[in-house]
Structure 1
């Protein structure tokens, strides 16, 4: 089995997390680090064994011809340019969430990714929580019809980011490079999970606010109601202003059963197809005991999540199948984030399909006071 050489673009916190996950996979090796701040790349390279090459530009790293996979971990507004360069060089691609800050750019790039897939390249989006055992189990139950018709969902991300977080880099909290606030940056994982579980949205009605941070352009609080094509209604709540920061919670309700994910673990599962089993036993039948809510979580869970996604990518490369999360999934998630911002800016519901297709591309989004 061949070793896959990986170039990581961006040597910040997320790039370091990718490097640690790659280092744990027997088929992957960090071969190159790319960062416009060469000192950041040098500092990360010094922690890795074997030590990767260090480059100011992605073009320099790709010129060697030895890069098989590129992981893009730059500020969000720089994603598409690096992704296009990767595919032109014939390397497989993994893009950190969100796909970009610009929906028009992302829309065009999604077409490029489809063409690259047809040439045999793997084009994946980071959404590591899709691979959490609890999320995978509930998604499998939904697809098997065990919850009946899914009727509603309540999704909440009550996180905390202090002012120092936003002050730590000029790009944080900007529309151009961060692409938004609590929804676009932190809540994008929940947005992706909602799409996986509930399908395509039809209408979005939202409000956003900046309630407890200074000197940023974007929201630190958003609430939206979303109607899906299957008729389900969902409530999305995302904030970085909930001290001290509480776990995310996703509750899914159906005509034949319900499921609750709390802190990425399975808190509750009940399905009418197992009427003789209590909910606690049904949950245990879905996931190992350590994945039930309340069980101790691994201290390196953040790295393990990315490692699971890297395993999916390796399998996709080996077999020629699509990865578990494709660029088109990233496009839908970005469009839903954009729909939240457009609705909040226009103070009315918006049609998701129209947002996705570009009807609202000229709307300047802003955070409500």
Structure 2
């Protein structure tokens, strides 16, 4: 394979998110989809049919990753399975010498996630790239706010907010027997809908130290996990933040992240820059300059690179396309990807600390969850009267 040849990819897990990845890969000049893998073979067949209709090239269809790797040319394994299967699939791919892309979250348990982190460390020494999808870190609006926080343009960052006020119907949870389970879904509104926004908060505000949380199951039935959660997070810098995540906000509202400091603030709503101001004279203090920066970057991924769909879906796919640009760069150059497994592990530990705190009814140290001092698997919905 020459450096100009597209990287070949196997998509493992051919449900909704697997099809999203396949669409991005089909529209990206740096990748080809050569295998579709799912234990439910009709799902893999349907994804392969979609790829073939777009490219004229039909991927290999398989029920297992090992068989797909035997039958197809695969450089990169894209793990889009239920979350509780991530470590097993990543281990298989790395043992076969393939690069690995893991859809969020890293896994459903910290012990499994630490195992992936160890594998990723060994893989780096072999020239293999392991990364985790966190596409919103590549959204222009989020990058403008994060850069301002990291560069000190907001002064001392004092507080933040991460809010995901969404709606999921009972039918959503009933659509798969793995949905809403601790074993395979790993959690509810925080783990699945809020994990990206928690990740952004950690990226922007720095290392989290302590979490205090409550969770509840208030609007759905026949699931084990929460549909509403609130938490406060204290960061190493002293900054405080609020996390709010729910799938019980009918009919589904916004995702919002706020960063505040003693010299400026930034607000992003639904991945769009809503407010930006810094106090430093001559530093480009206003919203318009930040909007211009974000809008210019937004145009770097053209819609016609992707495969159809409404504007909202196109925007969603653009984030993945930007991250795949970064993944391609990391593989080609041997440099670290923009989102490392260690990054994803810290964000996962923060999410898991929310569950542990809600279960124990007290604040918990993030490092105690990260290192296994507190068992992140012994959690419940945490409803208290």
Q: Using the alignment, how far apart are the partners of 1:215 and 1:230 within structure 2? A: 41
Residues 123 and 97 of structure 1, relative CA distance in 2, 3 Å threshold: same
Say if 1:270 and 1:282, in contact at 8 Å, map to a contact too. no
Range moving further from structure 2, 356-365 or 170-179? 356-365
Alignment partners' CA distance in 1, 2:382 and 2:108: 19
Q: Match for residue 181 of structure 1? A: 188
TM-superposed deviation, 1:153: 0.2
- Alignment correspondent of 1:2: 5
**Which stretches in structure 2 are left out of the alignment for 5+ residues?**
300-309
Q: Deviations over 1:56-81 (max 9, x none)?
A: 10001112472100100000000000
In structure 2, relative to structure 1, the CA distance for the partners of 1:283 and 1:362 (3 Å cut) is: closer
Alignment of 1:315 onto 2:329: yes
Residue aligned with 1:189, SS: helix
- Partners of 1:248 and 1:66 in 2: CA distance: 39
Displacement after TM superposition at 1:282 (Å): 3.3
Is residue 37 of structure 1 aligned with residue 40 of structure 2? yes
CA contact 1:266–1:291 (8 Å) conserved in 2: no
Inter-partner Cα distance in structure 2 for 1:160 and 1:290: 30
Q: Deviations for 1:65-101, whole angstroms, at most 9, x for unmatched residues?
A: 7210010000000000000111111111100111111
Q: Is contact 2:232–2:242 with CA below 8 Å preserved after alignment?
A: yes
TM-score normalised per structure 2: 0.92
Residue in structure 1 matching 2:146, options 113, 135, 139:
139
How far residue 289 of structure 1 moved from its aligned partner, in angstroms, is 6.9
Residue 264 of structure 2 corresponds to residue 238 of structure 1? no
SS of residue paired to 1:32? strand
Aligned equivalents of 1:123, 1:174: Cα separation in 2: 26
Distance 1:308 1:276, change over 3 A: closer
Q: Quote the residue 1:70 is aligned against.
A: 77
* Per-residue CA distance 1:104-162 (angstroms, 9 max, x = gap): 11112211111101221111101111110111121122222111111100111000000
CA distance in 1, matches of 2:363, 2:126: 40
Distance 2:64 2:167 in 1: 34
Partner of 1:303: 317
Which of 46, 49, 58 is 2:49 aligned to?
46
CA distance in 2, matches of 1:155, 1:181: 16
Contact 1:33 1:52 survives alignment (8 Å):
yes
Structure 2 residue 283 is the aligned partner of structure 1 residue 283: no
Identify if the C-alpha distance between structure 1 residues 362 and 43 changes in structure 2 by more than 3 Å, giving closer, same or farther. Answer: closer
CA–CA distance in 2 between the matches of 1:172 and 1:226? 27
1:30-62 Cα deviation digits (max 9, x unpaired): 000000111111111111121101011000111
Match of 2:340 among 326, 331, 336: 326
The counterpart of 1:13, out of the listed 8, 12, 16, is 16
SS in 1 for 2:226: coil
- Residue 23 of structure 1 corresponds to 26
Matches within 5 A, 1:1-369: 1-48=4-51, 49=55, 50-64=57-71, 66-274=73-281, 279-288=286-295, 299-361=313-375, 364-369=378-383
8 Å contact kept, 2:233–2:242: yes
3-state SS of 1:20 partner: helix
Shift of 1:284: 2.8
**C-alpha displacement at 1:290, in angstroms?**
9.2
Q: Which whole-Å CA distance do the structure 1 matches of 2:103 and 2:285 have between them?
A: 39
Compared CA separation, residues 243 and 347, structure 1 to 2 (3 A): same
Q: What whole-Å deviation, never above 9, does each CA across 1:140-191 have from its counterpart, x for those lacking one?
A: 2222211111110011100000000000000000000000000011111011
Q: Aligned with 1:192: secondary structure?
A: helix
Cα deviation code 1:241-290 (max 9, x no counterpart): 00111110111001111000011010111112245866332323432279
